[in-house]
Structure 1
């Protein structure tokens, strides 16, 4: 009987000692979470996740990191665009970001980071497209991102396809070819030829809503790329680009053409 009493007391002591330890752990995590929230930086939140990888605030911390990356991406922080895109596509990154597997939405920030020179974003965008439906369009888009990421073989494949399309009078293919001629990617650099193709696409009636070739053409006239510099011509094509962009935005909003006028920057 006496032995049984000792065992019971021993168990009670263990329970009494263990409860404060558990409560202490919860208190520590709550305190760290409050501190990370107050600092509101990706670094502070990542440090919190390192300390409490399986804690009760894990999802809240990962979601908050994603929100901060999205906001920074909007402010033209290309690394944050990359991180936000990776977060959306559900990729594993050592920064604790959430994963919603939203493939389509992930392309936008990855595109922005890729076109800004982040080769990792180009590679991720290409991988993402190849994970989707295996259509010719998706394959072509993947090649474009791989080319932007420095894969010269991909660049040559893009140029080959673009030449075929442009020879068949497809304005979008001519724009792709012009982009590569202007950069010298997968083909010898030829700014004069690029300018001519942008001109052709800008004036194409069937390509009415695509403002991009007109905008690039404006920049080339302004900077003297592929020919003489002419401020008046640059302004003219900038105006055409803004008209096309405005028409596109009005149509998307269900408004009559000409309802609203939008101003655009270089977007490049």
Structure 2
């Protein structure tokens, strides 16, 4: 079964310095039909004004990763990490038993545009940790590049959940497929461009949820950048 959620159906918040689209219920936006999908809890598409950002605040019991589309995102946390993340570099933080961090636009003149994504972890009170890695355009061109997995396979970052997350760049005749195993489902977020997935045409910001589908096929891309989440069929805690 295929379920489409169009970009303009998402929640939206304009705080002046922050403009954010919410794929799932978040902060002041609540949609009982879109609280989570499997273990996927948050996809926020954020645009942060130059020099602005999120001051130090705490999280626990969540896997949080950032995927930068343009600009640079400055990160600092109470684990002692500090860096600026640009396009192609993925950061993952296990908040576990508790960690505080801040995120700011690293530039004083240009906005930063990024996705912040949360997943429920495999267990509570895990040891907090942080990691980051570059996945350049060549890694993602015309194929599904595994960026996060439970065991760090194929050069991916490790995620504390039974989820596999892929990134891809597709254009023209380029085509990619993913076999979905038993008791698996998929959530596809089209970051930008246009793309056909299992016969369904998507535009930037659209999402497609797939249940009881054996294969995911991505084709007919037009400058498409996409994230694919291979997720377990379970109820999130």
TM-score, normalised with respect to structure 1: 0.27
Tell me which protein shows more strand as a share of its residues. Answer: 2
Q: Which is higher, the Rg of structure 1 or of structure 2? A: 1
**Structure (1/2) with the larger helix percentage:** 1
Which protein has greater RCO, CA pairs closer than 8 Å, 6+ apart? 2
Relative to the length of structure 2, the TM-score reads: 0.30
